[in-house]
């Protein structure tokens, strides 16, 4: 079945460490997204990519980095510069036939800084 796979489901990081969250899709979608979810703040866009080897900053990109070397993959690195990285992270993808296309979401990664 087609879908989006995020791994790991739970991730613990020590302060000062970088950590990479994986997102893979087999839907043949061109666009991929990373969101951060905190209680009461909804989903805030970190980065998005419309095509391979290109990506744009979202609303809260500081302290994060991404790459898009393959269509299927859009990993997110949470760097030590991110002041408060503990959150639930969601990856999504869409077709690019028009902005009215549905976004498909992964099951999320819960990152905790210890």
Partner 1 sequence: AQSVTQPDIHITVSEGASLELRCNYSYGATPYLFWYVQSPGQGLQLLLKYFSGDTLVQGIKGFEAEFKRSQSSFNLRKPSVHWSDAAEYFCAVGANDYKLSFGAGTTVTVRA
Which residues of this chain interact with partner 1, rule CB under 8 A?
4, 31, 33, 35, 40-45, 48, 50, 56, 58-59, 88, 90, 92, 94, 96, 98-100, 102-103, 105-108, 110
Q: State which residue, 27 or 31, has the beta carbon closest to partner 1.
A: 31
Q: State which residue, 7 or 18, has the beta carbon closest to partner 1.
A: 7
Q: State which residue, 16 or 98, has the beta carbon closest to partner 1.
A: 98
Q: Report yes or no: 105 and 32 within 8 Å, Cβ to Cβ.
A: no
In whole angstroms, the minimum distance from the beta carbon of 16 to partner 1 comes to 27
Q: State which residue, 19 or 90, has the beta carbon closest to partner 1.
A: 90
How far apart (Å, rounded) are the C-alpha atoms in residues 14 and 28? Answer: 35
In whole angstroms, the minimum distance from the beta carbon of 85 to partner 1 comes to 18
In whole angstroms, the minimum distance from the beta carbon of 55 to partner 1 comes to 12
């Amino acid at each position: 079945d087609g879908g989006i796979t995020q791994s790991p489901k739970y991730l613990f990081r020590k302060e000062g460490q970088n950590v990479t969250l994986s997102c893979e899709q087999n839907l043949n979608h061109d666009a991929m997204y990373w969101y951060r979810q905190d209680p009461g703040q909804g989903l805030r866009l970190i980065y998005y990519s419309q095509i391979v080897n290109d990506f744009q900053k979202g609303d809260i990109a500081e302290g994060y980095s991404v790459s898009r070397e393959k269509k299927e993959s859009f990993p997110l690195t949470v760097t030590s510069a991110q002041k408060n990285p503990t959150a639930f992270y969601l990856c999504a993808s869409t077709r690019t036939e028009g902005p009215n296309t549905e976004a498909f979401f992964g099951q999320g990664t819960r990152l905790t800084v210890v």
